[in-house]
Amino acid sequence: MSDDQITVVDPRTGASSGEIPAGSRAAVDVAVEEADRAFATWSALPQRVRSQFLRDAAGALRGHREELAAIESRDAGKLIDDAQGEVDAAIDSFDHFAEAATDEYLEQPLPDGDLIRRRPFGVAALIVPWNFPLLIAFRFLPGMLSVGNTVVWKPSERTPWSAIRAHEILSTVLPAGVIELVLGDGRAGKPLAEDPRVKLISLTGSTGTGIQVGEASGRLLRPALLELGGKDAVIIDQGVDVEFAARLVAEGAFSNAGQICTSMERIFVHRAVADEFIERLTNEATGRWSLETQPGGHLGPMIDERQRSVVESHVADAVARGARVVTGGVRPDGPGSYFPATVLVDITDEMLVMTAETFGPIAPVAVVDNFEEGVRRAASEEYGLAATLVTTSEASIAAASVLDVGIVWINSWHGYAEGALHEAGGRSGLGAIGWKGKSFLDAVSAPQFVSRGGR
């Protein structure tokens, strides 16, 4: 492999699935140029014409839904059913935004003939991570296009293949330049973030990268939508259905092998239910959440060896500081970057599993004397994506309102209603980004006040 190529690795085998360019300023320059050129025509189209293009895009992608899911399942190490669900939801987003960006949204009347016009920013850069390659890309891309932006899309260098295939398919129905794909790692991402012709940028990724993109955006006085790292807490109260709580936490900690920004990474459980909770969580880890290589197992591999090493080092640090491994904790023999669902107890707050993003299937369980102690310890962390509360007490829910987080899930996890809107706390991000509809479009279009001054 030469320096200007990156080898992409299949997480189930460790073997190469091919090479992509490492990225260059020159390639970014061409992509931004093309998207910039396409912007004038695309943004001037009548809304119904742009919406029809989005419907055509959904139809074209849907014709390849199984192929795209197979690619996603292989590259990101997902169970095929999960990959299919994600790909289908990703494609649906094109249909959604074909309807959401209405003429009424784009020109919002005020009294006396004045109005707010929503206008596109111009070229939008879309930098995507590897944990949900198409789902995260298409959370943003159709909505960006729907209001008239053109997009330069950079997938993660660790999972580029579904983006490459989807872009080929989209290119058969969308005008040239409306979506440009650039490949590579930071060697593509950095020049893209620094390009003054990029008028809006979205990054879902690590906090370190987010700070760099934010700095470049500050210099260019350009909005940046940053969805970054997390260290989400779940607090489990006394008097709850412990079986339900254990199932919910297993799902929150082990889904996608823990590689979700809103994974539950810190678990605070009330002493009154702690023993039963730990036992039931352990059963979940060794049952439903055993490795997919076991019969009935649902846990796929970590994305690659680098990520597995991070997870392993966090477990080793916890054990060195006195934690006990109830189950898991040791990498299995055999190919692929698998790591088992792991339950840790005797946890203290200075351990790496409680302070740094682990991004793996690790459930560190800290026992607390009361819900308020859980809230206090949950609040000590500098990340602030989301928090989950398992409780039947309104007083406990009220006590948790001090948490500096963008989302609070109560007796649930990972639900997103249409119209949901959140701004991350702490070092977890910047910019209020809605899930769908108007609350999303507000983040990717600029308001312009138009007054006829006729009063």
Between 154 and 199, name the residue whose CB sits nearer to ligand TXE.
154
The pairing of strands 16-21 and 5-9 is: antiparallel
Between 261 and 285, name the residue whose CB sits nearer to ligand TXE.
261
Residue 26 is encoded by which pair of tokens? 């020159």
CA-based nearest residue to 412, from 227, 266, 247: 247
Between 203 and 378, name the residue whose CB sits nearer to ligand TXE.
203
Helix (H, G, I), strand (E, B) or coil at 454: coil
**How far is Cα 256 from Cα 298, in angstroms, rounded to an integer?**
9
**Minimum CB separation from ligand TXE for residue 277, in Å?**
26
Q: Which residues bind ligand TXE (CB under 6 A)?
A: 127-131, 154, 156-157, 185-186, 189-190, 193, 203-206, 209, 212-213, 227-229, 261, 307, 310, 357, 359
Whether residue 297 contacts residue 289, with contact meaning beta carbons closer than 8 Å, is answered with yes
**Minimum CB separation from ligand TXE for residue 229, in Å?**
5
- 30 to each of 53, 107, 191, 192, 341, how far by Cα in Å? 24, 33, 12, 11, 44
Between 53 and 383, name the residue whose CB sits nearer to ligand TXE.
383
- 355 to each of 25, 75, 318, how far by Cα in Å? 35, 29, 11
Between 47 and 131, name the residue whose CB sits nearer to ligand TXE.
131
Catalytic, out of 72, 180, 261, 357:
261
Helix (H, G, I), strand (E, B) or coil at 229: coil
- Known catalytic residue: 34? no
- Known catalytic residue: 227? yes
Between 57 and 203, name the residue whose CB sits nearer to ligand TXE.
203
Residue 43 is encoded by which pair of tokens? 């943004």
State the CB neighbour count (10 A cutoff) for residue 384.
23
**How far is Cα 255 from Cα 263, in angstroms, rounded to an integer?**
8
Q: CA-CA-CA-CA torsion for 408, 411, 415, 417, nearest 10 degrees?
A: -70
**Minimum CB separation from ligand TXE for residue 306, in Å?**
8
**Minimum CB separation from ligand TXE for residue 182, in Å?**
10
**Minimum CB separation from ligand TXE for residue 203, in Å?**
6
Between 313 and 392, name the residue whose CB sits nearer to ligand TXE.
313
**How far is Cα 421 from Cα 55, in angstroms, rounded to an integer?**
25
Give the CA angle between residues 419, 424, 430 to the nearest 5°.
100
- Alpha helix segments (H runs only) across 207-347: 207-220, 242-254, 271-286, 305-320
Between 284 and 357, name the residue whose CB sits nearer to ligand TXE.
357
Whether residue 392 contacts residue 237, with contact meaning beta carbons closer than 8 Å, is answered with yes
Chain position whose Cβ is nearest to ligand TXE: 189
**How far is Cα 455 from Cα 444, in angstroms, rounded to an integer?**
32
Between 136 and 390, name the residue whose CB sits nearer to ligand TXE.
136
**How far is Cα 103 from Cα 242, in angstroms, rounded to an integer?**
49
6 - beta bridge partners? 20
Whether residue 402 contacts residue 379, with contact meaning beta carbons closer than 8 Å, is answered with yes
**Minimum CB separation from ligand TXE for residue 201, in Å?**
9
- 179 to each of 73, 163, 194, how far by Cα in Å? 24, 11, 19
**How far is Cα 329 from Cα 331, in angstroms, rounded to an integer?**
7
Query: Which amino acid appears at position 297 of this protein?
Result: G
**Minimum CB separation from ligand TXE for residue 214, in Å?**
10
Catalytic, out of 34, 227, 265, 312:
227
- Cα 331 to chain center, whole Å? 26
- Catalytic residue list: 227, 261
